Amino acid sequence: MNYILTHMALLVLVTPIAVCQTSFRASDCSNLKYVRHKSSCLCGIVQICSGDICGNPLDYELDDDITVELRDKSGMTLDTQKVVVEMSEEQGKTLDGRRISYKHSEREFSFTGKRDGDYLLAFILHKGGDSQSAIVFPTNYSHKRNRLGNAVYMLEPSCPK
């Protein structure tokens, strides 16, 4: 019995030290492990998505202003641009079969005239005019690749969590 009480007392004393020694790392969007895109152009469409539901930045209480930075593989910014919102008129049907027209918007960006190589695309969302943490996608660019079309970059609006 004495043996058990001694071990329990030792465990109670050591546990706070062990907990204090563990490192705490806050979630950071720039450290998320996104799949590396292989692309024939440094262009794309930006979507703000939570899970599988995508919407406008305003739906997620974000500003409509999105900045894209093209960075080299060491993280140095090479070029910066704002995402351009393209509006188009689309046709569709309602559930009861009536034809309707609606406005569709896509957020696009494109960096041109860059050499082949590994890059980072950093997407910076804004909330109330303040920049949020960058969401970074590694990209391997080659102008010789078959044209794959624009890549779609789905950004998590609640990062960091």
Strand, helix or coil for residue 17: helix
90 in a domain, yes or no? yes
141 in a domain, yes or no? yes
**pTM of this prediction?**
0.70
CA 124 to chain centroid: 8
5 in a domain, yes or no? no
Total domain count, the chain: 1
Residue range 44-58, pLDDT digits in tens = 899 998 888 888 898
Helices (H), the chain: 2-21
The CATH number of residue 84's host domain is: 2.60.40
107 in a domain, yes or no? yes
The boundaries of the domain holding residue 57 are 29-155
CA angle 69, 39, 108 (to 5 degrees): 50
Residue range 50-108, pLDDT digits in tens = 888 888 898 889 998 999 999 998 999 999 999 999 988 989 888 999 999 988 889 99
1 in a domain, yes or no? no
Report d(CA 120, CA 98) in Å as an integer.
45
pLDDT at 20: 34
16 in a domain, yes or no? no
pLDDT at 51: 80
Give the DSSP letter string of 136-158: EEEEEE-TTS-----EEEEEPTT
